[in-house]
Amino acid sequence: MILGPLKLVLRLVGLALSLCVLYLAVTFVQIWLTGQQHATNNANAIVVFGTTENDGVPSPELTARLDEALSLYNDGRAPYIAVTGGKQPGDVYTEAGVSRDFLVAHGVPASRVIVGGGNDTWENVASVAPTLVRRHLTDVLTVTDQFHEYRAMAISSDQGLSPHPTPTTTSPIGGVSLVGYYAKETLEVSVARVVGYQHLSRWLHHD
């Protein structure tokens, strides 16, 4: 008598686990495929997602993103560049400030650089989206690492922007280390699709 209900429960648990694995697998494929795309259209602005800086100097990872943005700007793909990223405790410089200085030093007029902030992807977009929307610069090229492109675009869309993928192809992050990055992205995107990207940002980065 007990075996019948127990088998049913086990089948339901197995089905639920199978669906979770399938959901994660589909999410991973979407993230990977988005990172392989590179839009060819022009836009209103380029949005560069921040990452680490080293005492006022862009890290190799940030340099790769800035080089991509600079190439797009010099090719006439967009007339403005929005830079994002805050600073960690103890830092003197913000990622966005370091990015601005790099771009200006490489010939981009300061008036063409929109400086934001933020300590995660949601906050990065939130720091520049109001300015972009107010100035009717909502069609944007999103520059980040390939594994981060899907989430960056999803959050940009949530905040009123129309993003197009332009991931850097020169990032120093590669090899086995990519496994961890893709696993993190897959998990965060999977959860955010259920609870919302803004809620996930609050849970992960605030008390």
Higher confidence at residue 167 or residue 207?
A: 167
206-to-36, 69, 169, 186, 198 alpha-carbon distances in Å? 32, 30, 32, 21, 11
Q: Is the dihedral of CA 160, 164, 166, 167 positive or negative?
A: positive
Q: What are phi and psi of 108, to 5 degrees?
A: -85, 125
Q: How confident is the model at residue 207 (pLDDT cuts 50, 70, 90)?
A: very low
Q: Which of 163, 139, 137, 136 is nearest to 151 (CA)?
A: 163
Q: Which two tokens stand for residue 149?
A: 């492109």
The domains of the chain, with CATH numbers, are: 35-205 (3.40.50.620)
Burial of 42 (0-12, 13-18, 19+ CB in 10 A): middle
Q: Is the dihedral of CA 139, 30, 49, 79 positive or negative?
A: negative
Query: What is the distance between the alpha carbons of residues 172 and 145, in angstroms, rounded to a whole number?
Result: 10
pLDDT in tens, 50-93: 999 999 999 999 999 999 999 999 999 999 999 999 998 888 99
